Structure 1
Amino acid sequence: MKLVVLGLSLSSSWGNGHATTFRALLKAFARRGHEVLFLERDVPWYASQRDLTDPDWCRLAFYADLPGLDAWRGEIAGADAVIVGSYVPEGVEVSRRVQSWAQGTTAFYDIDTPVTLAKLARGDFEYLSPEVIPSFDLYLSFTGGPTLRHIEAAYGSPMARPLYCSVDLDLYGPRDVPLRWDLSYLGTYSDDRQPTLDRLLLEPARRRPDLRFVVAGPQYPAGIDWPANVERIEHCPPADHAAFYSASRFTLNVTRADMIRAGWSPSVRLFEAGACATPIISDRWDGIETLLPPGEAIVLADGAEDVLAALDRDAAAMGRAARARIEAAHSSDHRAAELEAHLAEAAARGSAARQERK
C-alpha cells in the first residue's frame, strides 16, 4: 500500500504528542511492507525544534502553504490511502483538496477527538468542519467507546473506528539507570490539566518533603509555586523518555477535561510508561480499566491521599504487569495492523460512495 499522511508534525516533538504518535505508528506500518509519505506544513515553531529530519522508514517532506501543497497533488492522487490529521494548519481546506484529488481511500485521523468535538459544538472549525467529515471514507479516533457512534450519527461519518496511540517497543523499555524520583510527570502545560497536577503531584509533594518529584514539559507559566522537592525539566525529548520513566518509581498520568468527559481516551504517556515497566498513577475516566487493570497495572487516584498511599506500595510487580499488558495489546505493531485493517474495510465500503461523490 502507498500511504500519504498530512499531519501536524513528524519532525518535531516539541509541545505536541502528534510526532511520537505518528513515528511509532508509521514506522510499524512501513515494517509491514507499505510505502509512506508524510507531508508536514513548514512552520517556524517546529522548524526551530526538529528532532527527526530524515527517517529511514518513510519520506518526510514539507510544504510552505496551501499553494505549496498543490505540488503534491500527484502523490495524493496516486496513493492507495490518504490520511489528514487533526490540528493541521488550514486543515479544512487541506481536507477539501485531499478529498478532491485522492483516488484511493481517505481518512481523518483525530488525535484530539474530544477537543475536536467540543470545538465543532461551539462552531470553531479551526482544522475540521462538519461539512468535510462525511466525505472522508474513514474517521480514525483517539477516543473509542460511545464517541464513535456519535461521530457517525451526528456528523455523518460513514465509518468511525478507534485508533489509539501506541508505543514503539524498540525505543521504550526498562533502562538501567538510578532512581531519581518517587513520582514524575511528563506533559506540556494546559489550563485544564493543571488543577489535577496540583492535586495529584504538587499537593503530595507539599505533604511529603522527604520524597522527590519532577515535572517535565514546556509552556508552564512563571507564576506556579513549585514546592522545593519538585524538579522542573523544560523539555524531555523522546530519545530521553525511556530513561526518564525508568528513573521514576511511579509516574503520573493527567487527562484533559474534554477527554475525561468522553472517556476511552488514553494518552500515549500511559503506553510509554507502561512499556518501561514504570507503575502509573492516573486520574479516573470511563474505559481506562479496559486498557490497564486497576490495582494490578495502574493506580486510579482521586486525591493526594490516594497518591501517597500508592507511593508506599511495592512498585516492581505493578510495573511488570503494565509492561506485559503493553506487549500484549498496545505496541505500535498492534496499531499498524489495526490501521491496515481499518483502511482495507473502508476501501471495500467506500469505493462506490466515492464514485457517487465524483
Structure 2
Amino acid sequence: MKIAFYGSSLLSSYWNGAATYYRGLLKALSHRGYEIIFYEPDAFDRQKHKDIEAPDWCDVVVYEATPDALKQAASCAAQADIVVKASGVGFEDEALLRALIHHARSDALTVFWDVDAPATLADLRNDPDHPLHEELKKIRLVLTYGGGDPVIWEYRAFGAAECIPIYNALDPETHHPVAEDSRFACDLAFLGNRLPDREARVESFFLEPACALADQRFLLGGSGWGDKPLPANVSWLGHVGTRDHNAFNVTPKAVLNISRESMASNGFSPATRVFEAAGAGACLITDAWEGIELFLTPGEEILVARDGADVAEIMRTLTPPRAKAIGAAALRRVLAEHTYTMRAELVDTIFKAHFERRTVEAAE
C-alpha cells in the first residue's frame, strides 16, 4: 500500500522534535512493505540544518512554503491508499488538511496523526470555531504519539471516529551505546528547545539544581537558549544534531527529561528523548508524570523527580556505578518492549483492519 505522509520534516530535527518519531516509524513501516512518500515544507530553515539525506526506505518531497506549492503537494494525495496529515507541519496546517481531505480518494484511509495531542486538544477546547472540529468528522482515524485514555476519550468526544495512541519508541540502529565524547562530559545534561510551555520547568528541574550544586557541571543543548541567563556551571551547546545524540546521552553521568507542561499534566506522553537516552544506555532522570511505569520502572530503569530539589538530591547521591546500572536496565527494557518495529506492527494491524472492514462493508 502507498502512504502519502505530510509532516514537519523527515530530513531535519531543527526545531522539529518529531523527526526521530517519523524516522523510526516510517522506516519500520517500509520494512513491512509500505511505499511511503513524505511531504515537508521548506520552512523554519530546516533544510539548511538537515540531519539526514533522503533515505532509501522513503521518498521525500520538499515543497516551497507557498500556497501554490502546498496545493500541488496536496494534490499528490490522490495517488495514495493512506493519506496522513500530521499536526504541526508548520505552514498553513489548516489549509493543508482541507486540501488533503479534498484530494484523497473515497476509498483511501485518511489519518490525522497528532504529535502534540495536549496542545491540539487545548486548541479545540478553547476555540469552538477551530476548523479541526469540522474536519474531524471527515477523517477516518486519529493516531497520537501519546496521551493514553484521556486523549482517546476527548478526541472521541470531539467527533473522531477512532483514536489510538502510537507511542514513541527506539530504533536500535539509530540510537545505541557509543564511546563517550569529551564535548559532552558533565554530571547532568538536558537537551530540549526553548519553548514557552517548557521554560519554567527547565528553570525548576535543571537550572535550580545547577545553582544548588555549584561543584557539578551541567550541560544544556537545544535551540533558543542564547539569551537565557545561566548559572556559571551550566554550558550551552546550541542545537545538537541527531547524529550526536548517542554521545550526548552516554557521556554525562545522567541525562534529564523535562516534559512540556501540557505533556506532564496529561501524562502517558514519553518524549522521544526518553527512548533515545535509554537506547544509548544512559541513566535518565525524568520529571514525574502519570504512566511512566508503562515504559520504564522507576528506581530501576529510570529515576523520577517531583521538582528541582529532587533532581539535586538525586545528583548528590548518584554514583557512577549506579548510574551505569540504571542505564543498562533501561536499555534492556526498551529493546525488549519499545522498539519502532513493535510500534509499526501495531500500526500495520490498524491499517489492515480498516481496509478489511471497508471490504466487508462494500460487500454487504
* Alignment TM-score, normalising by the size of structure 1: 0.92
In 1, Cα distance between equivalents of 2:129 and 2:323: 44
2:146 is the counterpart of 1:143:
yes
Counterpart for residue 352 of structure 2: 344
Q: Supply the distance in 1 between the matched residues of 2:304 and 2:137 (Cα, whole angstroms).
A: 37
Tell me by how many angstroms 1:149 deviates. 3.1
1:335 match: 343
Match of 1:173, SS state, is coil
Aligned to 1:268: 272
Residue 21 of structure 1: aligned partner: 21
1:162 to 158, 162, 165: 165
What displacement does 1:329 show? 2.0
In the other structure, the counterpart of 2:7 is: 7
1:101-120 matches, within 5 Å, as 101-103=103-105, 104-120=108-124
User: CA-atom RMSD, angstroms?
Assistant: 2.3
Aligned equivalents of 2:226 and 2:357: distance in 1? 48
Contact 1:137/1:346, CA 8 A, preserved across alignment: no
Within-5 A mapping of 1:298-317: 298-311=302-315, 312-313=317-318, 314-317=322-325
Q: Which runs of 5+ in 1 are unaligned?
A: none
Partner of 2:198: 193
Bigger mean CA offset, 165-174 vs 147-156:
147-156
Q: For 1:70-81, what aligned pairs fall within 5 Å after superposition?
A: 70-72=71-73, 75-81=76-82
Q: Which one is further off, 245-254 or 190-199?
A: 190-199
Structure 2 residue aligned with 1:293:
297
Runs of 4+ in 1 over 3 A off after TM superposition: 69-75, 348-354
Distance in 1 between residues matched to 2:346 and 2:177, nearest whole Å = 26
Do residues 122 (structure 1) and 126 (structure 2) align? yes
Q: Which residue of 2 aligns with 1:62?
A: 62
Which residue of structure 1 aligns with residue 88 of structure 2?
Answer: 87
**Cα distance in structure 2, aligned partners of 1:102 and 1:211:** 55
Which stretch shows the higher mean deviation, 80-89 or 270-279?
80-89
Change (3 A) 1:113 1:352: farther
Using a 3 Å threshold, how does the CA distance of structure 1 residues 44 and 287 change in structure 2: closer, same or farther? closer
Look up the equivalent residue of 2:121 and give its one-letter code.
Answer: L
The Cα of 1:100 is off from its aligned counterpart by 2.2
| Contact preservation (8 Å) 2:221, 2:240 | yes
1:324 paired to 2:328? no
**What SS class does the counterpart of residue 48 from structure 1 fall into?**
helix
Check whether the contact 1:105–1:350 (CA below 8 A) recurs between aligned residues: no
C-alpha offsets along residues 79-128 of structure 1, whole Å, 9 cap, x if unaligned?
A: 121110001222222222222222211101100100111112222988x6
CA distance in 1, matches of 2:246, 2:337: 19
Query: Shift in Å at residue 73 of structure 1?
Result: 5.7
Aligned to 1:282: 286
What letter is aligned with 2:102? S
Aligned residue in 1 for 2:247: 243
Distance 1:135 1:337 in 2: 26
Cα displacement (A) at 1:152: 4.0
Greater mean alpha carbon deviation, residues 243-252 or residues 44-53 = 44-53
Does the CA-based 8 Å contact 1:252-1:282 persist in structure 2?
Answer: yes
Distance in 2 (CA, whole Å) between partners of 1:129 and 1:353 is 27
Residues 245 and 273 of structure 1 are in contact (CA less than 8 Å); yes or no, is this contact kept in structure 2? yes
User: 2:99 is matched with which residue?
Assistant: 97
Cα drift, residue 75 of structure 1: 3.9
For residues 228-251 of structure 1, give each alpha carbon's deviation from its aligned partner in whole angstroms, at most 9, with x where no partner exists: 111111110000000110111111
Most deviating of 116-125 and 81-90: 116-125
The letter of the residue matching 1:218 is: S
Deviates more, 1:162-171 or 1:66-75: 66-75
- Correspondences of 1:14-53 after superposition (within 5 Å): 14-43=14-43, 45-53=45-53
Mapped contact 1:144–1:161 kept (Cα < 8 A)? no
State the Cα distance separating 1:46 from its structure 2 match.
1.9
Aligned residue among 105, 130, 134 for 1:131? 134
1:44: how far off? 5.2
Contact 1:143 1:262 in 2 (8 A): no
For the 8 Å contact 1:159–1:346, the answer to whether it is kept is no
**CA–CA separation in structure 1 for the residues paired with 2:299 and 2:257:** 15
Work out the percentage of aligned pairs sharing the same amino acid.
33
Aligned residues of 2:150 and 2:266 also touching (Cα < 8 A): yes
Moved more, 159-168 or 339-348: 339-348
Separation of aligned partners in 2, 1:341 and 1:211: 48
AA aligned opposite 2:196: D
Superposition deviation, residue 172 in structure 1: 0.9
Kindly provide the CA deviation profile for residues 311-343 of structure 1, in whole angstroms up to 9, marking residues without a partner as x.
223211111111111112222212221221222
1:150 shift after superposition? 2.3
What code does the residue aligned with 1:79 have? Answer: A
